Amino acid sequence: MINKIVNSSEEAVADIFDGATILISGFGEAGSPIELIHALVDRGNGNLTIVSNNAGSGYVGLAALIENKQVKKIICSFPRTAISVVFPEMYRKGEIELELVPQGTLAERIRAAGAGIPAFFTPASVNTPLAKDKETRVFNGKTYVLEHALNADFSLVKCHAADKYGNLIYNKTARNFGPVMCMAAKTTIVQTKKILEVGQIDPECVVTPGIFVKKVVEVSNPADESVLVAENRRYLWK
Amino acid sequence: MEIKANIGWTVSEMARKVATDIHDGAYVNLGIGIPEIVASFIPEGREVIYHTENGLLGMGKVAEKGTEDFELVNAGKKYITAIPGAAYFHHADSFAMIRGGHIDICVLGAYQVSEEGDLANWSTGDPNDVPAVGGAMDLVAGVKTIFVITQHATKSGESKIVKKCTYPLTGKNVVSRIYTNLAVIDVTDKGLLVKELAPDISFEYLQQNTDATLFQ
């Protein structure tokens, strides 16, 4: 019998190991699985490579994971916002590695991993420092740069509703990287606001089919990162 | 080379010039900051659909205070609204729209634009800065027409329209048209063609205050 639902965020992240590569959904706070990230902070795995569009705000969520020195390297497109403090400080001190990737290349590298495509050519970043030392090739008179798939051990994703088969739907622009990240990891772990009965999600409307999902945990009332940041909360102090 | 402050067009006037050049039915991506203002000046009778690369086609106005939805944001992470008829999609689809040439026009800010339409707008190359690129390189590589809206000079008075960019490039030979407070300039095969001068700005004054070579 297939039932991907687990009882707690702690149980959901229980297989994560030191040195893992982890995809984390979200565009800023929209779609960021803050409870799963906090469960990973509690678990304490180190030496992680994190792939996420941003690098956290304030001292909660992804910023807490970085502040707790669990992250060796971050692969992202935009590691700063007006309210990001932890990453910039550690980056300037040389305490964390950064691989900067154009946002569309980041999304496509993740999608390619999920689709079994090891590498692809893109026009983005040609003639810029981000294409330095990368293989290029001309197609129809235009230059493209070779980019490699971004496979991962785990992905942590937030969605709006899920069923026990792992079918997912999302909410508005919180969808962002979720669907491609679900495809690209060996083990995809999802936090959902709602669990629905099998059959309640219209098959025409399923965004992530359950085959891409391993574990689902219900977090019916997730914390709002921006509220925690505005209140200057720090997860590590709790 | 020093340009007097508050000369030429205001930012709103510049944004209105850009908006006038956006055709009815266009799919448009507006960069973060000044480019966002352009949406307020689309002439009546034109329907324009706004794309925001974090997964929405049909972006509406900024959300009113008290109605903000934390899961409905634009590329600048501002709380926004969606118009009736909008569509949400994931990031790979969103950048397929960009890279696949489906977006008609993108309006971006700039640190520098060169005579050949090279754009530098993501990094000053300062090693103390945390580098961040976002979707800028994908946008300039994939969108059919790139408009730049910018002050003609930096706050310290240096021309942003240059012979050759000294900052790291976002893309090479990608800009079609530049809207500054002093002029509207087209990037052509022959070089930078001044299409329109702001009131009381002469071509000679413009050229004296521009690093790049201009022609009329």
pLDDT digit string, tens, across residues B108-141? 999 999 999 999 999 998 988 899 999 999 999 9
What pLDDT sits at residue A238? 57
Mean pLDDT of chain A: 97
What pLDDT sits at residue B1? 46
Residue B47 token pair: 């329907």
Whether residue B3 is predicted with pLDDT greater than 80 in this model: the reply is no
Whether residue A24 is predicted with pLDDT greater than 80 in this model: the reply is yes
Distance from CA of B146 to the nearest CA of A (A): 14
Looking at the DSSP bridge assignments, the partners of residue B215 are B193
Whether residue A190 is predicted with pLDDT greater than 50 in this model: the reply is yes
Fold of A5-118+150-230: Glutaconate Coenzyme A-transferase (3.40.1080)
Whether residue B34 is predicted with pLDDT greater than 50 in this model: the reply is yes
What pLDDT sits at residue B212? 98
What phi and psi, each to the nearest 5 degrees, are found at residue B11?
-60, -40
pLDDT digit string, tens, across residues B153-200? 999 999 999 999 999 999 999 999 999 999 999 999 999 999 999 999
Which of A29, A126, A172 faces B88 most closely, judged by CB atoms? Answer: A172
Distance from CA of B196 to the nearest CA of A (A): 31
Residue B53 bears catalytic tag: yes
Chain B residue with the nearest C-alpha to that of A177? B91
The SS3 of residue B171 is strand
Q: Contact at 8 Å (CB) between A36 and A11? A: no
**Which one of B29, B124, B133 would you mutate to disrupt binding with A, by most A Cβ within 10 Å of its Cβ?**
B133
Q: In chain B, what are the domains? A: 11-215 (3.40.1080.10)
ipTM here: 0.97
Which of these is catalytic: B2, B44, B53, B64?
B53
Whether residue A204 is predicted with pLDDT greater than 70 in this model: the reply is yes
The model's confidence at residue B5, banded by pLDDT at 50, 70 and 90, is low
Which of A29, A102, A179 faces B137 most closely, judged by CB atoms? Answer: A102
Chain B CB contacts of A192 under 8 Å are none
Distance from CA of A1 to the nearest CA of B (A): 30
How far from B73 is each of A40, B55, B56, B77, B141, CA to CA, in Å?
Answer: 26, 9, 9, 5, 24
The model's confidence at residue A82, banded by pLDDT at 50, 70 and 90, is confident
- Judged by CB atoms closer than 8 Å, whether chains meet at A127 and B128 is answered as no
What pLDDT sits at residue A9? 98
Q: Indicate the pTM of the whole model.
A: 0.97
What pLDDT sits at residue B141? 98
Percent of chain A topping pLDDT 90: 97
Chain B residue with the nearest C-alpha to that of A91? B130
Contacts of residue A116, defined as CB under 8 A and 6 or more positions apart, other chains included, come to none
Looking at the DSSP bridge assignments, the partners of residue B108 are B148
- Judged by CB atoms closer than 8 Å, whether chains meet at A173 and B88 is answered as yes
Give Rg (Cα) of chain A. 18
Which of B52, B71, B90 faces A180 most closely, judged by CB atoms? Answer: B90
- Judged by CB atoms closer than 8 Å, whether chains meet at A177 and B53 is answered as no
Whether residue B4 is predicted with pLDDT greater than 70 in this model: the reply is no
Q: If you average pLDDT over residues B75-89, what whole number do you get?
A: 97
